[in-house]
A and B are shown apart, each in its own frame.
Chain A
């Protein structure tokens, strides 16, 4: 598909030629899948799967090394009362905290993800964004969560967004030839239409995204069942067209087990089993984990314990 990115005009025509999205129909489908009733064994399976898919996140100006280390301990051992609880997929932090997290997680399979490229606004010059990325990778990040330039996207400068993602992807390379996996955040809440979200998804995937991600968690509307469903359709269609599998990460606003179940149903019934692993699906979340743990305890003990029985970090 190299020719569709050969020029700004070609890329625009390609993106605008993607099938449109009927918002009413999309939201109705997402809502209908939200009525699936996930009980007993299915619930137990889904809770463990959801825990294993979490990018446990702290992205605050007030973050301290101590807080990051506490979060890492939580990722490694989410429920001290039950060592059989799965670990989370990753810890997600700002670049300056990557070294701390990498140290705390050394030797484990929990990944270190770092936001980069002037997260969350993305308002910086390209060299700054690339330096931000290289810095995180050098400090030990396994995964980079970049933000796209929404201003350029909304202005229709698609090729510029494409080139920027490609450059960041390049910056994810390590000296030994390996590379950090790249998650591309669209900030769907700022793209405002579903047509734009579909176009951004294809744009990101064409530029080499390993994951496409809804949001930063820093704006009013973040992950929703509808925008995640749409992105799942995009990765499904992209693989059918190119053979390349891309992951999806809804982030922001997913707080309860019930919410997480709904997203897993979307994955299950849209792209199926091949995406039902933390290699291809993640939740960007912080408070979700404790709710999952409380529900997990309830399933195993039959009693709902309450927030004092999970750790607050």
Chain B
């Protein structure tokens, strides 16, 4: 008999999802002005979780006005007072972390293991971190008394719904701004629960406003005259659109866009840990990570050995019910994203790359894609150039460090990269030459609120996290 793990589902009972949610404007939940709603489903089952309001241009206007009104008092508060609210929010997030983890897993499809051990701890850590800055802004290196910008319009993606919210809201509030935030259309729930946390923390009305909706809501928000700053995380295509909208205005803009991260494995790498890093780099969150290590560059001399080890490891990945505590790979976030992944993977095959996936049974309902790797990939293939945003790894090889650097940098993107070697001098020399906002050495996909994050080239501009993350929300 084999050692089969019995199902170990996390209980859904810890979270109470209402049948419908309104928009959070000026400290109150209200229906959309035109009464429009849309449904949000659980990607692992296609079950409808709730109905949320679709914010209209009128609602955007109301939210921006509420934020503007709140800005006066909020920005005038001593930093230490703003910090109290942020610390309170951070603690409530910790207290409600199991509820929020289950909610996020339901709405997003990612494994509970990740929401419990990665998303939620990082969300709380981000609020704690920026709470600490609120009364020390004069020491952040932006002058003795840097001022906030005003009202920030923030649009976030569906891959880390609550974490991206934290990345946006925590520094904005610490610096004295007020915000109007639009969560992604497919993952609105955790932001609405966050609105409830703001009330629980006694945050003054209008400081945080949450507008659910689709792309039209987002466009109305970033195009609104009453905001001073736009922060967007999402696709490069939408990022470009936003940049065009904002051209010629005095609104500040930061963009965190796509990526095609290169994970470079040298022949002197710690092989077992490199395999873990590759797996974590591309299968964490089903590969729906802008900084995913979606291109594996492996030195030719160890290619066969490494790929054998990688395939063996991929065969142990447990794909299935995201609420099961033993699940490693969950559901793709939406039918639309699944179609995109499928199309790009098919193009890989059509262009001559060799496709491999471990034998794994995918659930019938919901949106699923097996962990997949492609060998015989060249720089010319679409799967080596375009962001797939799914659990698909493209394997390329190289012979010399110079070739590795050239291939890694040969991308329209420049968000992340990884280096695997036990040789410190090689690590430093290569890291120095990579055009990527974050370079991990002998690890991948490690995040910390103290560390700035952001891109080069078409991966965007501006930094989030760390002292640098304050700059985007200060008038400097």
Contacts and interface: CB of A to CB of B under 8 A. Distances in A.
A45 B3 contact: yes
Given A25-B277, A26-B273, A39-B8, A20 B3 contact: no
B325 A25 contact: no
B17 to A, nearest CB: 24
Nearest to A270: B316
Interface stretch (B22-30, B263-271, B369-377): B263-271
Interface stretch (A30-38, A79-87, A117-125): A30-38
A197 B270 CA distance: 14
A50 to B, nearest CB: 11
Given A22-B273, A25-B273, A36 B442 contact: no
B268 A42 contact: no
A269 interface: yes
B443 A25 contact: yes
* Best-surrounded residue of B2, B7, B272, B273 (most CB of chain A within 10 A): B272
Interface in B118-166: none
B271 A19 contact: yes
The prevalent SS among residues of B at the interface is loop
Given A37-B325, A39-B6, A40-B6, A26 B316 contact: no
Contacts of B269: 19-20
A276 B1 CA distance: 10
B250 interface: no
Contact of B5 (A21, A37, A276): A37
B270 A29 contact: no
Given A24-B443, A25-B276, A25-B443, A36 B5 contact: yes
A29 B276 CA distance: 7
A35 B117 contact: yes
B4 interface: yes
Given A29-B273, A46-B3, A35 B113 contact: yes
A25 B442 contact: yes
A268 B3 contact: yes
The prevalent SS among residues of A at the interface is helix
B2 A273 contact: yes
Given A22-B442, A25-B443, A37 B8 contact: yes
B4 A21 contact: no
A211 to B, nearest CB: 20
A112 interface: no
A178 interface: no
B276 A20 contact: no
Contacts of B7: 39
* Best-surrounded residue of A19, A40, A41 (most CB of chain B within 10 A): A19
Contacts of A39: 5-8
A49 B3 CA distance: 9
Nearest to B270: A22
Nearest to B441: A22
Interface string B265-299: 00011111100110000000000000000000000
A20 B325 contact: no
Contacts of B442: 22, 24-25
A264 interface: yes
B283 to A, nearest CB: 13
Contacts of A37: 5, 8, 325-326
Contacts, number: 72
B258 to A, nearest CB: 27
B422 interface: yes
B197 to A, nearest CB: 26
A233 B6 contact: no
Nearest to B113: A35
A33 B62 CA distance: 49
Contacts of B113: 35
A43 interface: yes
Contact of B272 (A19, A42, A46, A49): A19
Given A37-B325, A37-B326, A269-B316, A21 B272 contact: yes
B176 to A, nearest CB: 37
B5 A20 contact: no
A152 interface: no
A28 B276 contact: yes
A42 B276 contact: no
Interface string B325-340: 1100000000000000
* Best-surrounded residue of B2, B113, B273 (most CB of chain A within 10 A): B273
Interface string B408-425: 000000000000001000
Contact of B6 (A21, A42, A269, A273): A42
A35 B325 contact: yes
Contacts of B273: 21-22, 24-26, 29
A273 B1 CA distance: 9
Interface string B106-124: 0000000100010000000
A195 to B, nearest CB: 9
Nearest to A46: B3
Nearest to A236: B312
Given A25-B442, A25-B443, A38 B276 contact: no
A36 B1 CA distance: 19
Contacts of B117: 35
A21 B270 contact: yes
Contacts of A42: 3-6
Nearest to A273: B2
A206 to B, nearest CB: 19
Contact of A20 (B277, B326, B422, B443): B422
The 4 A-B residue pairs with the shortest CB-CB distance, nearest first, are A25-B273, A37-B8, A20-B422, A37-B325
Interface of B: 1-8, 113, 117, 268-273, 276-277, 316, 325-326, 422, 442-443
Given A21-B272, A29-B272, A42-B6, 6 more contacts: A19-B268, A20-B269, A20-B422, A26-B272, A37-B326, A41-B6
23 contacts: A19-B269, A19-B272, A20-B268, A20-B269, A20-B422, A22-B443, A24-B443, A25-B277, A25-B442, A35-B113, A36-B326, A37-B5, A37-B8, A37-B325, A38-B5, A39-B5, A39-B8, A42-B3, A43-B6, A46-B3, A268-B3, A273-B2, A276-B2
